[in-house]
């Protein structure tokens, strides 16, 4: 009887943390979507301020996996993916931006695919290795590369221009510096217990 109540308390705590992390991830996604039109210029390229927040989304998913498990991380990603789709449509409607289904699909697909790549690779490393810092950084950068490439392909459609590749490389360098700091922090977090 005591075991059953202890397991019930642990499940209640996992559920509470899942809701909290899902809300936090969804709020961060909405914040990034609202920042995408605010840009700064570097070497003649216009780059969004949202690129500084983007690594935190992958950090949050890795934190969820490490603290409460794989299933809550999947729930958080799926919920935030729906939030990405709905929020991108609502923000564009509110500001009178032209409706483009390819743009909404691209934003949603880029987010969903890159988050699940990050989740799958990080969970595999967490389950089978001690997750060395180098591989955590590499995983986060790889996920960001996939996201940035898909996002820029769907939203701008200019793959063969010089400004596309220069912007892309600048974004990668800036996000790499943020990923290094976040990867050090995630390696300091102790792994929790995953409940099946």
Per-residue pLDDT of the chain (196 residues; tens, 9 = 90+): 566 677 777 777 777 777 788 888 888 888 887 777 787 888 777 777 888 888 998 898 888 888 888 888 888 888 888 888 888 788 778 877 777 777 778 888 888 899 999 989 988 888 887 777 888 889 999 998 898 888 877 776 655 566 777 777 888 888 899 999 998 888 887 776 654 4
| Boundaries of domain holding 102 | 2-188
Residue 196, domain member (yes or no): no
Q: What per-residue confidence (pLDDT) applies to 53?
A: 86
For the entire predicted model, the pTM comes to: 0.83
Q: Is 178 inside any structural domain?
A: yes
Classify residue 69 as exposed, middle or buried by CB count within 10 Å of its CB (0-12, 13-18, 19+).
buried
Whole-number pLDDT of residue 195: 47
75 domain-assigned: yes
User: Taken in order 87, 148, 54, 155, is the CA torsion positive or negative?
Assistant: negative
Q: Classify the phi-psi angles of 190: left when phi > 0, otherwise alpha if psi is within -120 to 50, otherwise beta.
A: beta
Closest to 191 measured CA to CA, from 104, 122, 140:
122
What total of structural domains would you count in the chain? 1
DSSP string over 122-160: HHHHHHHS---HHHHHHHHHHHHHHHHHHHHHHHT--TT
CATH number of the domain encompassing residue 51:
1.10.1760
The per-residue pLDDT for 117 is 92
pLDDT value of position 1: 52
What phi and psi, each to the nearest 5 degrees, are found at residue 191?
Answer: -75, 135
Dist. CA 117–CA 191, nearest whole Å: 20
Residue 194 domain flag: no
The pLDDT assigned to 158 comes to 57
Cα angle 147-113-118, degrees, rounded to a multiple of 5: 80
Q: Are 100 and 47 in contact (CB under 8 A)?
A: no
Show the tokens assigned to 177.
């510096």
DSSP labels for 179-196?
Answer: HHHHHHHHHHSPP-PPP-
Domain presence at residue 149: yes
Asked if residue 193 belongs to a domain, the reply is: no
């Amino acid at each position: 009887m005591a075991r059953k109540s202890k397991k019930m308390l642990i499940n209640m705590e996992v559920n509470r943390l899942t809701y909290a992390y899902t809300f936090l991830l969804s709020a961060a996604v909405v914040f990034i979507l609202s920042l995408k039109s605010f840009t700064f210029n570097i070497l003649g390229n216009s780059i969004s301020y949202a690129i500084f927040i983007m690594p935190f989304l992958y950090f949050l998913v890795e934190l969820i996996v490490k603290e409460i498990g794989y299933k809550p991380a999947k729930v958080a990603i799926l919920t935030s993916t729906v939030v990405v789709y709905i929020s991108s449509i609502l923000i564009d409607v509110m500001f009178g931006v032209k409706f483009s289904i390819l743009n909404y699909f691209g934003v949603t697909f880029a987010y969903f695919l890159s988050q699940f790549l990050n989740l799958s690779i990080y969970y595999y490393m967490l389950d089978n290795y001690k997750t060395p810092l180098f591989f955590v950084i590499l995983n986060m950068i790889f996920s960001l590369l996939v996201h940035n490439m898909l996002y820029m392909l769907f939203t701008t459609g200019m793959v063969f221009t010089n400004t596309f590749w220069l912007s892309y490389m600048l974004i990668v360098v800036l996000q790499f510096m943020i990923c290094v700091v976040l990867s050090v922090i995630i390696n300091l977090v102790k792994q929790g217990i995953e409940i099946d």
